[in-house]
Structure 1
Amino acid sequence: MKKESSTLVKSNQKEEVGSRKSEIDLYQLTANGLAPKLLTSNRHALTSTLTLVLAFLLTFSSSAQTAKKSLFNQDSLVLISNQFRFTEGASVDRNGNIFLTDQPNNKIWEYNTDGKLSVFLSPAGRANGTIFDKKGNLIVCADEHNQLWSVDKHKNVKVLLSDYQGKNLNGPNDIWIDAKGGIFFTDPYYQRDYWTRKSAELPNQSVYYVAKNSGKAVLVADGLNQPNGIVGTPDGKFLYISDIGAGKTYRYAIAPKGKLTGRKLIVSEGSDGMVLDAEGNIYLSGKGVNIFDKEGTKIRHINVPEDWVGNLCFGGKNKDVLFITASKSLYKIKMAAKGVE
């Protein structure tokens, strides 16, 4: 303690001497008429520095705004077809071909990169959300009997899941697959006119995980009103879940075995479907398409002239076209960003 006190005293003495020296130097500069010049010079240098910083910030802000504005051109929205009853479940295969569902008509359609629209599967288990696995199988939320299906390129159907602990699922709705082949899916309850039951067998509307080849669903997210849209980041670190019933979209960290942790509110808005682009922007469907950056700040809106947008995905040969399933129609719009599916 004494040594430290001694050192502190010496330090204070040095500071006092330095202060006196500065006063003397300033006095001499003033006497010689140099102080005003020095102060003026420093003021000019400071002004120049601030001007450069301000110019940089304005340029950066302008560039960011330009990037947002150039993400797409609203006038480039194109109607592909309006022959459906209600479109949903947009997904893309490895070649950029688009698949979508028309649940009331019990069909899965394909729109290929050559612009040909055709029926892929009918009947289709009242398919809702879909996604392709690494083997090229179409994984389907088959709502008719509350199942998950795998449909191969020859249109052979394999049931992957049909219940949760012996009870009917509410109705698998949307789906995402991780790098290990595990399936996350949302399970809200929407009463269907083609069901014989009139109520849910499960007490809650939740999110489940099915490990590859397990045939068993594990509850991974509850405490939600009505989970719907779901999508994960390409690095497998995070999962976005939209609680359309609460009007909120959350981000979870993905832990081993599909466990979800660290729920964080990202957007105070729900959605029917979700997709990400390569920049990490989040696209939420509903009344048109709202686009948010990865921090949850809204950056753009795509106006779609339909009552409701059910789902969306990137596709095309370069994965830079956004396909939008909206009510009775299918649309597309060219984007400056690319998808990550």
Structure 2
Amino acid sequence: MNIISKLGIAAVLPAALFLNITYVNKLPAKVVNSLNMQDSSYSKTDLFDQNAQPKLISRQFEFTEGPAADKEGNVFFTDQPNNAIWKYGLDSKLSLFSNTAGRSNGMYFDKQGNLFTCADEQNEIWKFDQSGKRTAIILSGVNGRKFNGPNDLWMDGKGGIYFTDPYYQRSYWTRTQTELDGEKVYYLPAGKKEAMLASSELQKPNGIAGTADGRYLYVADIKANKTYRFSITKDGLLTDKQLFTDKGSDGMTLDDKGNVYLTGNKGVYIFNADGQQIGLIAIPEPWTANICFGGKNRDMLFITASKAIYTMQMKVRGYSKNASRQL
């Protein structure tokens, strides 16, 4: 997560937002051009009504991220610069869930209703109960060294956690360099206290999501501007890395048809399971960061985009494994 194209964006972004964007000016031109593509030919799809439009819910935040739906369909999301987690309820009302969120970014609910978050203020993964109380620090590093800054995560059916660990220098950190030798993907098996390396093959892993059957894991390499699909072994290891599409992404989700939703400058880009783009939901904001399915029937696409949040009524649903968001 946390990249914005440099094409005229600086003039419209609030200063607080730049604590999330430190890599933007290093993007190669071909990546910027790809992230900015209009893809107008993909505006027609049977995934949503052709007259449907994204609905603006609020633009009261600094930078929204990490949406996750609980088993009822309420959606939780972060306002990272303001160190807050918010709830968008089934009653369409907003309420503050936590104002000491550890600068949480990506989030995910487990089967018991606990919320796991990538709390990169201290490079950790946190666990919250349903009242908004932090109940545990799950991880803070690997092999005695701090993580770069856990960014996004996905939980498998066993309760194991896959997460990306890119390095984005934060204004609220005292350190100025990484303690690790790269930006990687890790896996924490259920019941274990130490994460194991899942992949070191990506330049800057970011968005991450797995399939409902737990067979495949999608990971976006936002620096290389590509998204890959890995096979998951019974032991949780990642094998058979395959290029899914020549497009990077900040956030990611899947629907119950196996379509993959990526994010970027123009909004939400939708791909089928073969990696062919089949849809585009244009969002009128500088940057669309992340997405999840929520609502009572899980047919509401919830979109975090810069200072705003949007919803979009869909004709498909997010899959409901783990009764949680599908990144």
Matching of residue 289 in structure 1 with residue 268 in structure 2: yes
Matching of residue 236 in structure 1 with residue 214 in structure 2: yes
Q: Is the 8 A contact 1:228 1:273 kept in 2?
A: yes
What amino acid is the match of 1:88?
E
Matching of residue 146 in structure 1 with residue 119 in structure 2: no
Distance 1:276 1:195 in 2: 33
2:23 maps to: none
What amino acid is the match of 1:315?
G
Query: Which of 131, 155, 173 in structure 1 is aligned with 2:132?
Result: 155
Could you say what secondary structure the match of 1:134 adopts? coil
Matching of residue 255 in structure 1 with residue 202 in structure 2: no
Matching of residue 76 in structure 1 with residue 87 in structure 2: no
2:303 maps to: 324
Query: Which of 165, 169, 173 in structure 1 is aligned with 2:147?
Result: 169
1:307 maps to: 286
2:255 maps to: 277
How far residue 77 of structure 1 moved from its aligned partner, in angstroms, is: 1.1
1:179 maps to: 157
What amino acid is the match of 2:128?
V
Could you say what secondary structure the match of 2:163 adopts? strand
Structure 1 residues not aligned, in runs of 5+: 1-64
Please give the per-residue CA displacement for 1:128-156, whole angstroms capped at 9, x wherever unaligned: 00000011000000010000111011323
Please give the per-residue CA displacement for 1:47-80, whole angstroms capped at 9, x wherever unaligned: xxxxxxxxxxxxxxxxxx9993453446421000
Overall identity of the aligned pairs, in %: 51
How far residue 223 of structure 1 moved from its aligned partner, in angstroms, is: 1.8
Distance 1:105 1:214 in 2: 32
How far residue 203 of structure 1 moved from its aligned partner, in angstroms, is: 1.1
How far residue 258 of structure 1 moved from its aligned partner, in angstroms, is: 1.5
1:206 maps to: 184
Query: Which of 180, 193, 216 in structure 2 is aligned with 1:215?
Result: 193
Q: Is the 8 A contact 1:242 1:270 kept in 2?
A: yes
Matching of residue 107 in structure 1 with residue 84 in structure 2: yes
Distance 1:67 1:303 in 2: 12
What amino acid is the match of 1:302?
I
Could you say what secondary structure the match of 2:82 adopts? coil
Distance 1:251 1:142 in 2: 25
Q: Following TM superposition, where does structure 1 have runs of at least 4 consecutive aligned residues deviating by more than 6 angstroms?
A: none
Matching of residue 246 in structure 1 with residue 240 in structure 2: no
| Number of positions where the alignment pairs a residue of Structure 1 with one of Structure 2 | 277
1:86 maps to: 63
Query: Which of 179, 187, 204 in structure 2 is aligned with 1:226?
Result: 204
Please give the per-residue CA displacement for 1:82-126, whole angstroms capped at 9, x wherever unaligned: 000000001100000000001000000000010010110011100
Q: Is the 8 A contact 1:314 1:322 kept in 2?
A: yes
Tell me which protein shows more helix as a share of its residues.
Answer: 1
Q: Is the 8 A contact 1:188 1:206 kept in 2?
A: yes
Matching of residue 129 in structure 1 with residue 129 in structure 2: no
Distance 1:213 1:156 in 2: 21
Please give the per-residue CA displacement for 1:152-203, whole angstroms capped at 9, x wherever unaligned: 1132311110111110100000000001000000000000000000111111
Structure 1 pair 66–208 and aligned structure 2 pair: CA distance change class (3 A): closer
Distance 1:318 1:67 in 2: 23
2:93 maps to: 116
Distance 2:289 2:50 in 1: 21
Could you say what secondary structure the match of 2:235 adopts? helix
TM-score by length of 2: 0.83
What amino acid is the match of 1:222?
S
Could you say what secondary structure the match of 1:104 adopts? helix
2:318 maps to: 339
Structure 2 residues not aligned, in runs of 5+: 1-41, 321-327
TM-score by length of 1: 0.79
Distance 2:147 2:140 in 1: 8
Could you say what secondary structure the match of 2:45 adopts? helix
